[in-house]
Amino acid sequence: MFTYDYLTKIFLLSVDGQIIGKVEKLRINVQLSFNFTSYNATLDNFDITNTGKLSLSFKANVLTDWLANILTTVVTTFLHPVIIGVIQSIVKGGLQAAVDAVNNFIHGISE
């Protein structure tokens, strides 16, 4: 699950609220390796094998939430692959950053 607080300003009108998202039954295949000769970790493979189910809902704005939730249901159906692609790039980037941090730590100790 994730939440996102938003504030939208259109001319003199401002609307704020919260988006609550949930991804269910998402499956990811991750392969990491470590070379004991060079003391180097690598992210060998990152692949989403099941895109699961994505749901988004708007909260905290009584005037517009009902319409936004109806539109979101339709839009997420069509944009599911794009949203999953964004999630994949964010998670893969985070994993690669963790691998890089481990490598930097190990190489910092050995120097």
pTM above 0.75, yes or no: no
Helix, strand, or coil (residue 89): helix
In this predicted structure, the answer to whether residue 38 has a pLDDT above a threshold of 70 is: yes
- Residues 35, 41: Cα–Cα separation, whole Å: 6
In this predicted structure, the answer to whether residue 30 has a pLDDT above a threshold of 90 is: yes
Give the model's confidence band at 111: pLDDT under 50 very low, under 70 low, under 90 confident, else very high.
Answer: low
Residue 79's pLDDT is 80
Each residue of 48-84: pLDDT tens digit?
A: 888 888 888 888 776 667 777 777 777 778 888 887 8
Task: Output the DSSP codes for 61-78.
Answer: -TTTHHHHHHHHHHHHHH
Residue 97's pLDDT is 96
Q: Are strands 40-50 and 2-10 parallel, antiparallel or unpaired?
A: unpaired
* Domain layout of the chain by residue ranges: 2-110
